[in-house]
């Protein structure tokens, strides 16, 4: 019996956030063939070229891969990025890596995609090489929203910098969440009557603007209403930012576990209180506001 061989469709890019623009590329790839392959780079090139850069990544590698699979990727190749790789001419990378190792029948890239030495690789180069008959190139124009603005990772970061979770979610097409290991804290929240699951953000991972957010904590497949503080807790003069989540109606040990915290809406900015009782009163109000918002 003859087995039908599905064409191999390759999408290339960083795919940070896996936002609606990325999803549109995956949809077009799936319209050609269900065998969709992703070629991305790890670490993100920005980290190699500018290691002192401020945190900017929307997703960890694992989160990005999970999202890419959710939206249709069958295979994911995460190519190690280095200065040596950046010095390889684009045509050589296409020949030695893409053609010889991945062996795609089709390649999809965004119109602004660039790669290789001096960023000399672009859709035109791929189109020229595809004329040799070894693959077909598809150039995807920017996907725009109802405001005539293109979906992009930079727009996600800009929305997060304002704490605008609604806009962030709209651009992403899925909730924004922080997923990190729960670490041991100073127990101040517990002493005030609001125990928290504390998470330190991994290097280069972006945080939204500091403040208090209505949120959901995902534990063992169940979604719990919660209230999350992101920041440095100015009342206690903490140096490094933390993500602290008070989970409503939950009493369990989460230390050492990987916790997903989905941010829903910012309630207020971070503030400094001179008296502990004032802070406790405000946390009580924050939790009440979060409950009401999440219930509505």
pLDDT tens digits, one per residue of 122-150: 888 898 888 777 899 998 888 887 777 89
State the pLDDT confidence band at 30, using cuts at 50, 70 and 90: very high
Residue 191 is among the residues annotated as catalytic for this protein: no
Residue 217 buriedness (CB in 10 A; 0-12 / 13-18 / 19+):
buried
pLDDT above 80 for 17 = yes
Structure letter (DSSP) for residue 95: I
Average pLDDT rounded to a whole number, residues 77-103? 93
CA distance 252 to 231: 24
Mean pLDDT of the chain: 92
With pLDDT > 70 as the criterion, what percentage of the chain qualifies? 97
∠ CA 53-57-61, rounded to 5°: 125
DSSP 187: S
Mean pLDDT of 74-92: 94
Least confident of 5-9, 21-25, 176-180, 192-196: 192-196
Q: Are 73 and 64 in contact (CB under 8 A)?
A: no
pLDDT of residue 4: 63
More confident position, 117 or 193: 117
Q: Exposed e or buried b for every residue in 82-117, given b needs 16+ CB within 10 A? A: eeebbebebbebbeeebbeebebbbbbbbeebebbe
What is d(CA 201, CA 240) in angstroms, rounded to the nearest whole number? 10
Average pLDDT over residues 237-264: 92
Lowest-pLDDT range of 37-41, 60-64, 207-211, 270-274: 270-274
DSSP H helices, 14-142, are: 20-32, 45-49, 61-70, 83-86, 90-93, 123-130
Percent of the chain's residues with pLDDT above 90: 72
- Cβ contacts of 65 within 8 Å, gap of 6 or more: 76, 78
Q: At 1, is the pLDDT very low, low, confident or very high (cuts 50, 70, 90)?
A: very low
3-state secondary structure of 296: coil
Residue 275 confidence (pLDDT): 86
pLDDT bracket for residue 3 (50, 70, 90): low
Q: Please pick, among 95, 244, 270, 292, the residue that the annotation labels catalytic.
A: 244
Please, are residues 106 and 33 in contact by the beta-carbon 8 Å criterion?
yes
125 three-state secondary structure: helix
The sign of the torsion formed by the CA atoms of 222, 227, 228, 233 equals negative
Q: What is the mean pLDDT of residues 213-226?
A: 97
């Amino acid at each position: 019996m003859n087995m039908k061989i599905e064409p191999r469709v390759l999408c290339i890019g960083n795919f940070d956030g896996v936002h609606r623009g990325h999803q549109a590329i995956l949809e077009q790839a799936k319209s050609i063939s269900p065998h969709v392959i992703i070629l991305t780079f790890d670490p993100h090139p920005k980290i190699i070229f500018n290691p002192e850069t401020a945190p900017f990544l929307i997703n960890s590698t694992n989160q990005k891969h999970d999202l890419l699979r959710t939206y249709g990727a069958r295979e994911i190749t995460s190519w190690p990025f280095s200065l040596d790789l950046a010095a390889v001419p684009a045509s050589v990378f296409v020949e030695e890596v893409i053609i010889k190792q991945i062996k795609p029948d089709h390649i999809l890239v965004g119109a602004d995609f660039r790669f290789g030495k001096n960023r000399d690789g672009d859709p035109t180069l791929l189109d020229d090489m595809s004329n040799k008959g070894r693959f077909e190139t598809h150039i995807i124009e920017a996907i725009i929203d109802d405001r005539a603005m293109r979906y992009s990772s930079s727009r996600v970061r800009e929305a997060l910098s304002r704490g605008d979770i609604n806009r962030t979610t709209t651009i992403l097409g899925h909730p924004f969440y922080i997923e990190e290991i729960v670490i041991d804290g100073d127990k101040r929240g517990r002493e005030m009557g609001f125990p928290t699951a504390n998470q330190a953000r991994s290097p280069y991972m972006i945080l939204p603007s500091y403040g208090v957010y209505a949120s959901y904590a995902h534990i063992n497949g169940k979604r719990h209403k919660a209230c999350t503080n992101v920041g440095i807790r100015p009342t206690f003069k903490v140096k490094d930012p933390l993500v602290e989540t008070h989970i409503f109606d939950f009493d369990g040990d989460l230390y050492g576990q990987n916790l997903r915290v989905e941010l829903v809406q910012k309630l207020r900015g971070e503030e400094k209180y001179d008296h502990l009782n004032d802070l406790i009163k405000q946390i009580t109000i924050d939790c009440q506001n979060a409950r009401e918002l999440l219930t509505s």
